[in-house]
Amino acid sequence: MKRKLTILVIGIFTLIALTVTYTAGWLKGQAGQGTALVKEAQAAGGKVTSATGTAPDRYVYYPGTEKLAKDEVRVIACGTGMPDQRRGQASACFLFEFGNGEKLIFDLGTGAMRNISSLMIPYQYLTKVFLSHLHTDHWGGLSSLWAGGWTAGRPVPLEVWGPSGQTPEMGTKYAVEHFLKANNWDYQTRAFKITPVPGQIKVHEFDYKGENAVVYQENGITVRSWPAIHAGDGPVSFAIEYAGLKMVFSGDTTPNKWFVKYARDADFVIHEVFPPPEIWVAWGNQPPQLGWRACCEFHTSGQSFGKVMSEIKPRHAVGYHFFNEEATRYVIYDSIRETYDGPLSMATDMMMWNITKDKIIERMAVAPDKSWAVPGTMRQPPPEKGREPVMSEFIKSGEWGPAFNAQNKVLDEHSKKYNLQDQDWRKQKPWYKPTK
């Protein structure tokens, strides 16, 4: 009897011990698998903490999967190339995403929206654009954000910040007003069919001669500008300040006294860098006398870029505005290294950086080639009541009924599914033959 009791007690203790050990292990495993609250930048280079845990992304950023810490900034190169287009590189564009939820686009060159739209950011958050100057390789993508975002559900107007010029016709306000005039047909047709609100652009033009002048200050973000030297009066460079960090975007510029003064000691500096004269002759289809001016008079060569960086000493420098490929990358890199030995990224499209006080990490964003716009929290307002149609009776009278009526089955089903009976647009059409 006594022996039986001893066996039972030992059995119970063993069971309790096993349960405790198992539960403790399970909880540990759970903690390893779970996503920690985002207190600090979680990007790149963490450890795997359990056999079933996940490997922190060391090399890539998958858009839409990583929260920013409050004091962190994520910068994505949405365009790093040239005015002449190629599939692998759009024209100038850098998207800044801040830990407080703000997103600011710095330059929106031709083709850049293809990169931005792959980042799966709802269009309601892509409304603020800062232009360094009015060359199309720095703002030619505005049409795609303006109209594409409108059709993809942006519920609000766009806002554009940009410099004045020597005369009103050389400034951002003139450019955007005439952009809207040139796109009047697009505007009027969408305003009638969808809603006019997302087609509006509010312009904030500021003095291009301002020196480190504040051009934007909201939600803990300050944007400053100073004059750049490039092609004519008007271009500027920007400093972006947030959470004790200072980041700089040069736009297009040759080396200048303002940049050296106001970009000094910045945490993160994006600056244009151009290939040497010989590349322009061999690859750039340019005569020799233009080749050595393109790189070195209108723009900044590798040696000059390096000299500027060695002077201002950023925590991290980024060179952009060149066709980045095997044939050219190392020539430009070597030319920079003649005069600068600090941290450096040779930017190409979708390269991205996480920036905090502690570290600056470079990775590549890996995004789908074929993504749709992601819905956000806001909905577009309905079509404006009483707005005059922009199609005449003459054109409408050309609609060929049999082909319209051929789609009645699918439209009837859609109407039933979403209770659209009272909005049946077919009833006003002379050709409409309802399905019995």
Nearer to Zn ion, 228 or 266 (CB): 228
Backbone angles phi, psi at 162, to 5 degrees: -165, 165
Q: Which two tokens stand for residue 104?
A: 């600011």
Residue 411, SS3 per DSSP: helix
Tokens 């016709």 belong to residue: 169
| Per-residue contact string for residues 111-150; x = within reach of Zn ion by CB under 5 A | ------------------------x-x-------------
CB of 175 to Zn ion, least distance (A): 14
CB of 80 to Zn ion, least distance (A): 11
Nearer to Zn ion, 241 or 252 (CB): 252
Nearer to Zn ion, 300 or 345 (CB): 300
Q: CA-based Rg of the chain, rounded to a whole angstrom?
A: 28
| Per-residue contact string for residues 416-435; x = within reach of Zn ion by CB under 5 A | --------------------
Amino acid symbol at 213: A
Tokens 């900044």 belong to residue: 300
Contacts of 315 (CB under 8 A, 6+ apart): 266, 267, 268, 343, 360
Nearer to Zn ion, 57 or 252 (CB): 252
| Per-residue contact string for residues 350-389; x = within reach of Zn ion by CB under 5 A | ----------------------------------------
| Per-residue contact string for residues 249-288; x = within reach of Zn ion by CB under 5 A | ---x------------------------------------
Nearer to Zn ion, 135 or 363 (CB): 135
The DSSP code for 147 is: I
| Per-residue contact string for residues 301-330; x = within reach of Zn ion by CB under 5 A | ------------------------------
The DSSP code for 246 is: E
Nearer to Zn ion, 230 or 246 (CB): 230
Residue whose Cβ sits closest to Zn ion = 135
CA angle 21, 23, 27 (to 5 degrees): 120
For CA atoms 368, 369, 372, 373, give the dihedral sign: positive
Spacing of C-alpha 14 from chain mean position: 59
Q: Which two tokens stand for residue 36?
A: 């920690």
CB of 83 to Zn ion, least distance (A): 7
- Interface with Zn ion includes 107 (CB under 5 A)? no
| Per-residue contact string for residues 1-40; x = within reach of Zn ion by CB under 5 A | ----------------------------------------
CB of 29 to Zn ion, least distance (A): 52
Under 8 Å between Cβ of 177 and 200: no
Nearer to Zn ion, 232 or 368 (CB): 232
**Number of residues located near Zn ion, criterion CB under 5 A:** 3
Q: Which residues from 236-255 bind Zn ion, rule CB under 5 A?
A: 252
114: burial class by Cβ within 10 Å (0-12, 13-18, 19+)? middle
d(CA 382, CA 379) in angstroms, rounded, equals: 9
CB of 90 to Zn ion, least distance (A): 12
CB of 338 to Zn ion, least distance (A): 23
Cross-strand pairs, 426 = none
d(CA 344, CA 310) in angstroms, rounded, equals: 11
CB of 233 to Zn ion, least distance (A): 13
Q: Which two tokens stand for residue 373?
A: 């716009």
190: how many CB neighbours lie within 10 A of its CB? 18
- Residues near Zn ion (CB under 5 A) are 135, 137, 252
